Every structure is written in C-alpha cells, then in structure tokens.
Structure 1
C-alpha cells in the first residue's frame, strides 16, 4: 500500500470523501484515521436527543463503522494523527501509546473544529458542558434524568460509559444556565424546557441568533420568553463558579450572580488546524485552512474540507469560513471524486442555515450585516416585511417576517432572513437559489412561485418582500 488516500477525521467531510473515493476508485486503498470512537454522526441532532425527540443516541449515526468497512474503507478508530510531513508525504499516527508512520499518495485534512470555552473561567467544572459530540449529549441527557432512571443506553459500544454514569447519579437540575444565544443556545433552551428545568440564557449582545439579523433575533427573544426562558441580553458571563466538590454552582455576570445546577457553554467553535501549523499548508484570514475550488491546499496532493477549511462565498467571491453540515459533506464528496481522478468543485457557500426555536422556524442566507456588505464593496439596502404564510381565509397560517438585503446600485440580492411558525425555514431555499444565480431583487420579484391556499398566498412572503424592497430601490 504505497499510495493510499489518507483521511484525517472520520466525520462528515472525511467519510463522505472516503465513501465517494471507494466507489470511483475501487482498486486504490483509502485509510481513515479517527482519534475517537464516534464517526459520521449528526452533530446538529444532539439538542433533539437531549430533548427526547430523538430516542436513541445511535439514531444520530449516519454511517456505522461496520457500514464503512462494507464500503471498502479502512477505518481506524482511536488512531490520532499527531504529525504531518508534507515533504516525506507521511503522517505520524498515535495508537495505544505507540506511534507509527503512514505514507500517503493524497491526503485529506478533515479535522473539524472544537468548542470555544477559553474566555470563561470555570468552563472545566463538573456540570459545565459544551454540546460538541455525542458523549456530551449523552452526559447532559443522563444529568436530566432521575438517578437510576437514565434513558441513555450505556451498553452502546462507543459511548463514554464512565462519563454518562457519573452524571446519571446526579439529581436532575432545577436551574440551568446557557451561555451564548446562537444556534446551540437557542436549541438547548428548548431541550431544557422540555424537561421542565428553569432556564436562564445569557447573551453578550443585544439580540439572539446574531447571524440571522435583528428582526429574527427580536422575534425569537419574545417567543423564548413566552416559553418560560429567562433571557439576559447585553449580559456577558464573567465566570462559572463551583462548589467545594468542583461542581458548577453559579454564574457570575454583569448583572450579578445566578445560582445554577448545570451550565451549557455555546459561544462558538474554532477550526482544528494545529496539525498543519508546522507545514507549508497555508491558513486563510479566518484561521481555517485555505483551499481552492477543488478543496486543494497550497501543498500538492493535500486537501482540506469541513469545519477546518475555508470555502468561497457565493456573494463576495472571497474565501470565508462558515462551518455547516452540508458544506462539509458536499466538499468531502467533491474531494473524493477529484482524488479518484475526476476533478469536481466543492461548490461555493452562501451561509444558508436554519434553526428551530420552539415553535418558530428561522432561516438565513448570504450577507445580512451592512458593515460586512459594505466591506465587500456593496452599497447595502434592506427591508423587513411581514406577510401571511397562507391565504388569509385558510387555517394554520402565521405571520412570516422576511428581511432582504440588496446592493443599491446593481439591485443584486445579497442576503435574506426569514422567521415564522408555518413553514418559514424552508422558504430560505428560494433565497439561497437566487443568490447562487446572482439574481437581482427585480428578478426575484418576478419568480413564478407556487400558489395554493394551503401552502401560500398568491404573493408568497418572499415575493412580497422583494416587491417592497424593489420599490425602495426604484
């Protein structure tokens, strides 16, 4: 095995690349090194596992180790790549206290990202979690259960049994703190409230879900309050304080001190790039690995994909780092095909994302922030409108808020956000498609979108927003 395709990381990008590669080049070997036990799992599903909507932890597995083997992938779990030598074209792998060198013909770095906790002292206390990985999800769900009544199956081969059993012995928390009002914070607020836990959410800025814009953030905030979540906006958490036993006991913040039994820190992630820092592989301005349209790095034969790599933004045409699931899977698949001999672009990104906030659905795409749009050379103008999700006489509809951002001179659609309780999130795909096609607001307004009373009014909320913003541009 002198020229295998070696993949570092066994999650979305890594196993997507390996799977595509084995189908396209079945006569060539592929080795995937994964430092942990879990592979190819749905990270975005973890809040719904904690909530109880997803019953079994293994339901979040996209591809099991057994299925990977059946596809011809040499998957090696508990094998940590600790060094990369691009001159010798080898990686150094640690396993069971020993190391060995593995040559590669092509290399994919798919090392993902890690949760940020550093700015907050006390994040290492017992009972302070990040929702980054299935073991974390299992531990939180165990902590929410009555002692001896945990719904976590510790017989699962991959689960960290000691961690889960530790928290399964705890009395369920009466009050929890969530630090950060982004995707994880909002989703976990719903999960905790489903367990009837008093929930306090702390957000440094003045509105939730910053990437979605103020209109979405304000509506989500009102809805969370209706669901019993106590919001602390414009409130920075300074420290998590533990008791004598080392368990989190309180949150120190700008407005004082709040006693809690458990804390969830969700203030962001950073790309895992340490492996390439002493190599010629270049990093981009974001701190993630710089790649071209095929996922290739600055070193021949070395690729990068997923949460550790940049991609090209569909609006600006410049490198950007937007770590999302589809981006990782799509890039991995493209790289697998390219390495197999059929060059395939990894595709541009538009930052398309959706999130559920109790009964509300939120979506966003492109450039929403005026400062970012201006820095990219645009003259942004925006408008937020409210329109019905269905014909007014048909039951089940809801107010849908749509924000559109366009370039004043060209009329080009730059970004958009949507929030509502009736199929609002899926409407963001219309805007994502329009952005990928470089459409103007005028062209968006003339789209022939479907109409029937159970699904949409004659003028879909997206068309209403385009019509209003187009009038403002005129």
Structure 2
C-alpha cells in the first residue's frame, strides 16, 4: 500500500509515524515544501529573543531520522501543485507520485491583506516557519529600534514580549478595540495594563492601510486610518488561512474559511483522501459543528488519528472545546470554550460570573491574585466557557474547566468537583468553584 502525505510537520508526521509503526509493509512518502520536518512552530517567538537559544532545539525529529530510522521517503522542497483524484496521483513542478491513500496536511499560512500598499518592502515579516524566524533575526540589528506588530492575538503578544526582552520599542496596532483574541472586555483590560506596564504602545481600534519605505527599500512608516507611524521593522500577525489553494478543481469540499471539510475519521468527501491539522476543519463540541481552530495540539491529535484510520484502525476524532494558553510578561492568559459573543451568535442565552480571588490560602505567602470568568447558559446553567488571567495557577484552572466542558457540565457540577486543597496550592473553595458559586 502506497501512502502519500503532503506536509511534514505536526499532523503529517504524526500520521506517518502511526502508519510505519502499525503497518510494517507500508510505503510512506512525505512531500514537504520546505526543508524542516516536525518542528515546534509555537516556540518561534522565543527563538527571536534567545530564550530558545538555537533553532535546532525546536526540531523534534530531523528529516534524516525519518528516512534512516523509520524508513519514510521524506522529501524536502517538494511543493504539491495539483491532485488528480481519478488517477490517484499528486504532482508538483518536477514530480508526480501515485498514492493508494493520501493525507493532506499542508497547514496554514499567515494572512497579509492584499490591499495594503507597500507590503513587499523589506523588513516586513510574518512568523510561521523557522526560515521566517531566521529572516526576522537577521533584520533585528542594532539600528532597528522600533518594531510595529500588526495584530493583538497570541502571536502578536508573544512576539511583543520577546522583542521587549531585546530592548526594542514595540507598538501593537490592532483592528479590534480588545487586546487578546477572544477575551472578554474586562479580561482584555488586564492584558492592556500588562502591555503598558512593560512599555508596549497600544493603538487599538486602528486599521493599517499601507506602508512607506526608505531609500534602501525597507519599511519606514506604517499608515493607519488615523495616523502615520515611524518604524524600523514590521511583523504582521493578523491570522492564518489554510494552505488549500492548490486544491482548486479537485472536487474536495472546503469550508467558508477554505479549510478542508472532514468527518470524525478525518475523511474528506473523496474516497481514500484524508486531511488533518491547520488545513482541515475541527469539530467543536460546544458549538456542535465544524470549526477552524488551527493549533498544534489539534494538529497532532488529528494527524495521529488520520494515520490510524488510513491503515484501517478506526479511531474517531472527538472534537475540541477551544482551549488556549499563553505567557505575556508576568501574566498567564488562558481561555477555553465559548466567549459571550460566540455563545450569542449561536443563539444561547448566556450569562457571566466573575471573581478576583486568591490562587492559594489568602494567608499563605505564595498567594497571588487570579481573575476568573465563566460563561454559562442562562436557562440550564451548562458551562459554555471560561477565561483566567493571573501570575500563577491559570494553567490548572483552564485545564480543569476544559475537561469539564468536554463532558458538558453545569455550574452546580463545577461546585461539586472534588479538587485538591492545601494552603500553599489552593483555597478550600477553588477559584473555579468560587466563580461558579457567584452566579
């Protein structure tokens, strides 16, 4: 059986490893457009500042390991440009490869709006790959004093923190009035305060319209709908879009976000073709419909299951609840499930309960303040989502809630959870339970 995988990162190589481990006679070919396999994209902001000292630390397995240890025909610089679903082949500029079963795991690419004038100037960057990070680091010379980040989501905030560590002056321009993707206004305000505390300038509710360059062809100004801003380097971090343009005319069904539609077994609408990761849809358990949430955790899970399903070891993907966490200077920011806007869009009558409480017994010297917010159904009190911001204890609460959301719990059931307590670690009532009780 000939298995072909397009894409050599999280989803693609998770699938490849399941195939070679469970089908000793499998012929696995992976076609990767770049030169790196299985690397941690989420670590790239920390490479810029030197918190991660070397790019090789981000590579889980290099291409030679896949070839020599696992017997995978792992190719680099092989960009697939078309799929012939009748002949069952994939092709690029200099190759055609036949398949019995095919996995599309091409990931996503950063969005750079085409109506921005001057977008091709030097020192305007996106950050998605190791080569992207290398180019940014090459340009972060001493003469670069000011960096403008377009976008106030996860990547924008993480890069801002790491550039401040390099003593760069940072400005974030965000089209939304709220900083931090998906956070409620009262939580976003805490993120704003943290940014300002560390000297980050915020231009919220502004839209970039164009860029102007200097005599060397590098960006020198960012123009918005309100003002013109001098800058030395720009990072664009306004979101990603699936790498599915090459599928035009293939007959594969795409979502309105251009992600490949898949069922629970990661199968597309065409037999023997599967898709996984940032180029595919993910079923959202709370929305009860397909969504597009490109995260490394989802890509690894979907890829692993796609590989098993391709060799007949059927395992369904159980869906996501939308959990995310990040560090931003001295704070940890996390959310899971739905926010009020998402719940309202789905027609849910939603309510909110909030607390600012202590991460441990208030009298203990380890105690820190923790902001908690729960969104719940106004009729049946099913918990729909939650957000947490604080210096410590955020990861514990968001993961407990993510687990609870998976099983569709109510606010009362949150109160009834048997959670751990000792003065250095918690209050008698966990902050999550305190928030549920305040409704």
Give the TM-score band, short-chain normalised.
Answer: over 0.9
Aligned mate of 2:238, from 261, 267, 270: 267
The answer as to 2:78 corresponding to 1:107 is: no
2: CA distance, partners of 1:454 / 1:266: 39
How has the CA–CA distance of structure 1 residues 123 and 394 changed in structure 2, closer, same or farther, with 3 Å as cutoff? farther
Tell me what 2:134 maps to: 138
1:400 equivalent to 2:395? Answer no
Q: Deviations over 1:212-237 (max 9, x none)?
A: 22232110110110001111111222
- Structure 1 partner of 2:383: 413
Q: CA 1:172–1:16 in 2, change beyond 3 Å: closer, same or farther?
A: farther
Please give the alpha-carbon distance, in whole angstroms, between the structure 1 residues aligned to 2:187 and 2:344: 21
Superposed displacement of residue 300, structure 1: 0.8
The alignment partner of 1:210 has SS state of: coil
Which residues of 2 match residues 126-275 of structure 1 at below 5 A? Answer: 126-145=122-141, 171-275=142-246
Aligned to 2:10: 12
Aligned partners of 2:429 and 2:211: how far apart in 1? 50
Secondary structure of residue in 1 paired with 2:399: helix
Query: What is the CA-CA distance between 1:374 and the residue it aligns to?
Result: 2.9
* Structure 1 stretch displaced more, 303-312 or 203-212: 203-212
The count of aligned residue pairs is 437
Distance 2:62 2:318 in 1: 27
- Return the match for 1:373 from 343, 368, 383: 343
Q: Is the 8 A contact 2:241 2:257 kept in 1?
A: no
SS at match of 2:259: coil
Aligned to 2:64: 66
Structure 1 residues 100-129: Cα deviation after superposition (integer angstroms, max 9, x where no partner)? 321101100001111011243323211111
What is the distance in 1 between the residues matched to 2:271 and 2:347?
A: 33
Q: Which residue is 2:283 aligned to? A: 312
Equivalent in the alignment of 2:37? 39
CA, structure 1 residues 64+426, in 2 after alignment: closer, same or farther (shift >3 Å)? farther
> 1:457: which partner in 2?
427
Give the Cα–Cα distance (whole angstroms) in 2 for the partners of residues 125 and 324 of structure 1. 29
Look up the match of 2:111: 116
CA distance in 2, matches of 1:318, 1:42: 28
1:30 lines up with 2:28 in the alignment: yes
1:442 alignment partner, one of 392, 412, 418: 412
Measure the CA separation in 1 of the matches of 2:184 and 2:272: 40
CA-CA distance at 1:369 after TM superposition? 3.0
Check conservation: 2:16, 2:307, Cα contact below 8 A: yes
SS at match of 1:331: helix
1:242–1:248 CA contact under 8 A, matched in 2: yes
TM-score, L = length of structure 1: 0.90
CA distance in 2 between partners of 1:12 and 1:247 (Å): 34
Stretches of structure 2 lacking an aligned partner (at least 5 in a row): none
SS in 1 for 2:182: helix
Preserved contact between residue 154 and residue 181 of structure 2 (Cα < 8 Å): no
Alignment correspondent of 2:84: 85
Asked whether the equivalents of residues 7 and 32 of structure 2 are also in contact (C-alpha less than 8 Å), the reply is: yes
- Runs (4 or more) in structure 1 with deviation over 6 Å come to none
SS in 1 for 2:122: coil
Show the counterpart of 1:389: 359
TM-score under structure 2 length normalisation: 0.97
Q: Is the 8 A contact 1:47 1:191 kept in 2?
A: yes
Cα pair 1:143 1:172 within 8 Å, conserved:
no
1:86 Cα deviation from its structure 2 partner: 0.8
CA distance, structure 1, for counterparts of residue 219 and residue 187 of structure 2:
32
